[in-house]
Chains A and B, each alone.
Chain A
Amino acid sequence: MSGMSRTAAVDDRHATGTWMDDIAVKLGPGPTSEDMTDEALMLRVQTGDKEAFRLLVARHIDRIVGTARRIVGAAEAEDIAQDVFLKVWTARDQWAPGHARFRTWLYRVAVNRCIDHLRRNKPGSIDDVPEIEDDTPGPLAQCEQREDATRLRSAMSHLSEHQRTAITLYYHESLTAGEVAEIMGLRLNAVESLLKRGRQKLRTVLK
């Protein structure tokens, strides 16, 4: 996730108290627009609005690909992101406004897809798959960023699937421990334990 999108994510989280109000304001009649909140777009998606869905996908695709890269590896990340959004479309009636924020629900679908993938496939190191080349001619900084990301992913392959998921959501997606617990369907103290053990193990591996 880029620094800018991380900031947006954090800002988004701080706006928790107002998103239901935003829906009321922004769901009025009129065309689907980019300044609508996720929740307002999702309400339109529930009516079958594909343009609203396109906006939601474009808004979150980088985050979901990044999360999948951390949990299952780079090679399958884009396929998994595609599956995640197709599931969001087919299961769109399951999202209930007021019950869960769209982003929390989206991450839950994504984490479930990643865990299902890990359980179906032979456990292996997520660093032994080739990095997909970005087709943008990148500067040196981009290469270094890719190398650092690959090194971290390699270290994370030493963690259990639940440690890896918790660490990814907490540090990479800047979610709170409470949100991570909600997404993973675990108690807060279980997530705190996953974060602590995962971090300790990563420190040992990355030394």
Chain B
Amino acid sequence: MTPEEFRALLDTYGADLTRWPHARRQAAHKLLQDSGRARSDFADAQAFDSVLMQSEPTLSDTRRKNLVDSILDHLPDEVMSRQGRDMDVKSSAPRQPRATRGSPVAEAGISVLVRPLVGLWVGCLAFGILLGVGLYLGHQTLHVSAESDWVGTLTLFGMN
């Protein structure tokens, strides 16, 4: 194990070697025996671990009892609770990292989903307009030709 790798593992897992990946522990112990620099880094990491592992002040007995009582007092009744159980499927599903600035969805919002469909929308609109115009013109042509046919027939029989 190189000193750089040792420092990287200290940064990742802290100075408690029992929490390191099993395969790296023996090499770490060996390096600690051989390298004064590694021992110094290890001592620094141990001191920093103790800072990170500082305990939060515990609740006083009175505050804890009041909080527990308050939670029990606010439990929904069984009917409400059953509705809540049906609705509350998200409470234990892991939260995914938020879309960060720069990601396509965060930057463009819903438009990034709509944009690929713009061509389809325009195509449908154009087709609808053409269909409408076509039907209108077709109707007009039929009307005119029927009228002209009727006039032609009357003329033919000398009735006009």
Contacts and interface: CB of A to CB of B under 8 A. Distances in A.
B58 A2 contact: yes
Interface string A174-188: 101100000111100
A90 B88 contact: yes
A5 to B, nearest CB: 8
Given A105-B92, A111-B95, A66 B55 contact: yes
Interface string A131-166: 000111000001001101100100000000110000
B64 A62 contact: yes
Given A3-B55, A152-B54, A196-B11, A112 B92 contact: yes
Contact of B75 (A58, A86, A172): A86
Contacts of A174: 53
Nearest to A100: B92
B71 A162 contact: no
Nearest to A5: B58
Interface residues of B, number: 45
Given A90-B85, A91-B84, A185-B95, 10 more contacts: A3-B55, A61-B64, A61-B67, A62-B59, A91-B85, A92-B85, A119-B98, A134-B59, A177-B19, A184-B95
A40 interface: no
The secondary-structure label for the interface of chain A is: helix
B49 interface: yes
Contact of A116 (B56, B76, B95): B95
Contact of B60 (A94, A119, A136, A161): A136
6 A-B pairs with the lowest CB-CB distances in the bound complex, closest first: A185-B94, A90-B84, A66-B56, A136-B60, A171-B52, A196-B12
A62 B93 CA distance: 23
Contact of A54 (B55, B63, B68): B68
A91 B95 contact: no
Nearest to A48: B78
Given A94-B92, A116-B95, A199-B14, A2 B64 contact: no
B67 A50 contact: no
Contacts of A41: none
B51 A146 contact: no
A186 B59 CA distance: 31
A7 to B, nearest CB: 11
Contacts of B96: 185
